[in-house]
A and B are shown apart, each in its own frame.
Chain A
Amino acid sequence: MAVYFQKREVVVPGQLLAEGRYRASFGTYGEDGKIFSSLVGLAELRGNTVKVVALEGAYIPKEGDLVIGIITLVAGNNWKVDIGGPYGASLHANNALRRPYSDDISEYMDIGDVIAAEIIAFDRGSGPFLGMKGRGLRVLQGGMILNVSPAKIPRIIGRRGSMINMIKDHLNIQTMVGQNGRIWIRAPSTEVLRLAIKAFRTIEAQAHTSKLTDRISEMLSEEMAKIKASSSPGNEIDSEEVDVPDDISDEDESDVELEPESEYEVMTEAVEDESVEVEAEAQVIEEEDEKKNEEVSEE
């Protein structure tokens, strides 16, 4: 009975980790009573189970995993789904739709659609099968997909979702984290989206440092304060709740770049009275303000 590594020590393949009545777990292998590492990573001892936390690696499906996939093929009543890693998954219509459903299942989901699904079966014989019958499992509309290393996903979610919930609270974004290293993000503005990406990238780069949640939280509060300061106070940023007036309906909202701080504030001030008159009770987003400002100057 002996353990030959320090807690969180970087170990290399073939390194002797423990001897005696220990149980080999992920990232290790046992050979006549001895346990060796099979990966580069951080060694951990929990109870009498030895494991190595990988720092790299492709996504290997596991039953029960939430994954974010992209539909690559519609075949009969199956969808073929790319979930990253070496294995392509399939999703049977019975596991996604409520019966009766149309014969042409591409009516419901088609090539290129991004979905949140669950791995319902995977073993050595048959490739991973997905299911979409569960809370929140659906086609993901809008937003973007961010790819990170699958090995870093546990850190991004945090203990009982502490990290991801903290990020959501700060940024007020919609997001879904797949175990396959894909993160779906829908943010109310480009700046917040950039900030969210920055946060996830930072976690990925510093996944194995301590007090990460606190540091990220601090960073987010600072950055959010800056964003708030640069946008006009009182104007709620929420693209979904805004009904776009007819005169600017041809404007592509998502492509509108927000103006730099100083210039922008001047504009909102100039516009304030006008907007009260035009749309007294409406919630106005910045883009509209800009538009109106142009109108004002034309007048």
Chain B
Amino acid sequence: MSPEIKPDFLISPEGLRVDGRRPDEMRPIELKVGVLKQADGSASIRQGKTYIIAGVYGPRELHPRHLTLNDRAYLRVEYRMATFSVPDRKRPAPSRREKEISMVIANALKPALFLEEFPKAVVDVFIQVIQADGGTRCAAINAASLALADAGIPMKSLIPSVAVGKADGQLIVDLGDEEDKYGQGDVPMAIIPNTEELTLLQQDGSFTREELQEAMQMGINACKYLHELQKEALRRAYVKKTPDEEDDEDDEDDDFDDDLETDLGEAELMEDE
């Protein structure tokens, strides 16, 4: 990759951004659920050039034991960037930044999860950044939330996340890499869409009170759009898993109901003579 040069402007005279987007326009987003075979749940996200895969394992037995929480499951998030994900080789050892982002993501996801259903266990979330082009922590939250749902972890809601920032004095949604580096500020946020509860809000750069309030409103709107994409991706994955639903309806619909009702008294009786 050629050495990066600072673009002359982040907002063109026509009011468009470096990649031609409007200020409130997001990059094209592609979400996929169930991309890993070995994981209990998985999802991938492509957001512009950013590409991230998240895998979820568990709930399973927690090792090392001393981390055990007696009233709920431990949520262990590991955010990692591949050595080839950035222009200069990223050294493979976990960096301070990766550890912090892991913690931030865990905190953003935790309020939505019903972890108290699995005391003493652990839910592992592994996030691998394959290609980084700005907004990786937000994209990671989007993917991780989908992967958790795919793993069958009970949750209040999916968590959408997006970054709002400021470039050339203009508030912009979903920062790309250049806007992140050369812009004047960055506010990553994540919400629970139904209640608009914030589960992540960080900021760097300086914003006035009015700017921050407007930025948050833009972020909430973008998150709601993302939430629709997440729900659709999840449904798409599961409708595929339930093929030929169209065949005849009524009679075996009831049949189906009863099939799900399997009480153990019967299961016990059916062992071999």
A contact set with B: CB distance below 8 Å: 7-8, 10, 12-15, 27, 29, 36, 38-42, 44, 46, 53-58, 60, 64-66, 85-88, 116, 118, 124, 127, 134-136, 151, 153-155, 157-165, 168, 174-177, 179, 206, 208-211
A118 cross-chain contacts in B, Cβ below 8 A = 268
A-B interface contact total, Cβ < 8 Å: 162
Contacting A at CB under 8 A, from B136-158, are 149-152, 154-158
Q: Is the CB of A29 within 8 A of B114?
A: yes
Interface string of B229-273 (1 = CB under 8 A from A): 001001100110111110110001101111111101011111110
Q: Is the CB of B268 within 8 A of A135?
A: yes
B264 cross-chain contacts in A, Cβ below 8 A = 64-66, 179
Q: Which of A13, A157, A179 has a CB less than 8 Å from the CB of B158?
A: A13
Q: Which of B5-13, B53-61, B87-95, B162-170 contacts A (4 or more CB under 8 A)?
A: B53-61
Residue B135, interface by CB 8 Å: no
Q: Which of B60, B152, B259, B268 has a CB less than 8 Å from the CB of A39?
A: B152
Taken together as a complex, chains A and B put the C-alpha atoms of A286 and B256 apart, in Å, by: 41
Q: Is the CB of B58 within 8 A of A13?
A: no
Q: Is the CB of B253 within 8 A of A7?
A: yes
Taken together as a complex, chains A and B put the C-alpha atoms of A88 and B58 apart, in Å, by: 14
16 interchain pairs (CB within 8 A)?
A10-B239, A12-B158, A13-B156, A14-B157, A38-B154, A38-B156, A39-B154, A40-B149, A55-B238, A55-B242, A57-B152, A58-B152, A60-B59, A85-B60, A159-B259, A211-B247
Contacting A at CB under 8 A, from B156-200, are 156-158, 193-194
Residue B40, interface by CB 8 Å: yes
Interface size on B, residues (CB 8 A): 57
A64 cross-chain contacts in B, Cβ below 8 A = 264
Q: Is the CB of A161 within 8 A of B269?
A: yes
Taken together as a complex, chains A and B put the C-alpha atoms of A31 and B194 apart, in Å, by: 11
B238 cross-chain contacts in A, Cβ below 8 A = 10, 40-41, 55
Which of A13, A39, A168, A174 is most buried by chain B, counting CB atoms within 10 A of its CB? A13
Residue B207, interface by CB 8 Å: no
Give A186 Cβ to nearest chain B Cβ, in Å.
8
Closest 3 pairs between A and B when the two form their complex, measured CB to CB: A14-B157, A57-B152, A86-B121
B270 cross-chain contacts in A, Cβ below 8 A = 157, 161, 164-165, 168, 177
Give B228 Cβ to nearest chain A Cβ, in Å.
11
A176 cross-chain contacts in B, Cβ below 8 A = 271-272
Taken together as a complex, chains A and B put the C-alpha atoms of A86 and B65 apart, in Å, by: 13
